[in-house]
Amino acid sequence: MVELVDFIARALVDDPDQVDVKRVEGDDIITIELRVSPDDMGKVIGKQGRIAKAIRSIVKAASLKEKKKVTVEII
């Protein structure tokens, strides 16, 4: 799931080197933390969070088989 978010984020931003994705394992939830350069925040969030929502939709679809719920946080 980390690779998936990393790939999508890199494709959207101007500065792919600053993309950093971490997986934080919780008891019944997995959080994927996405960090990008401050200038690229808009590129992964979008107007009214439209891009962030699309990223979450894709992650949700890809994680249907996971036992834990997966969420994406943009930090």
Partner 1 sequence: MKSVITTGKTLEDAILTAAIQLAVQRDKLEIEVLEEPVKGILGIFGGKDAKIKASVMQSTGDLVKEFLTELFEKMKLEAKIDITETEDAVAVNVSGPRMGILIGHRGETLDAVQYLTSLAVNKNTDKYKRITIDTENYRCKREETLTKLAKRLAHKVYKTKRKIVLEPMNPFERRVIHSALQKDPHVVTHSEGNEPYRKVVITLK
Q: Contact residues for partner 1 (CB under 8 A)?
A: 3-4, 7-8, 11-12, 48, 50-51, 53-55, 57-58, 60-62, 64
Q: How far is the CB of 20 from partner 1 (least distance, A)?
A: 17
Tokens representing 59 are 């992650």
* CA quadruple 62, 64, 50, 39: dihedral sign: negative
Q: How far is the CB of 22 from partner 1 (least distance, A)?
A: 17
The span from the CA of 9 to the CA of 23, in Å, is: 15
Considering the complex, state which of residue 9 and residue 27 has its C-beta at the smaller distance from partner 1.
9
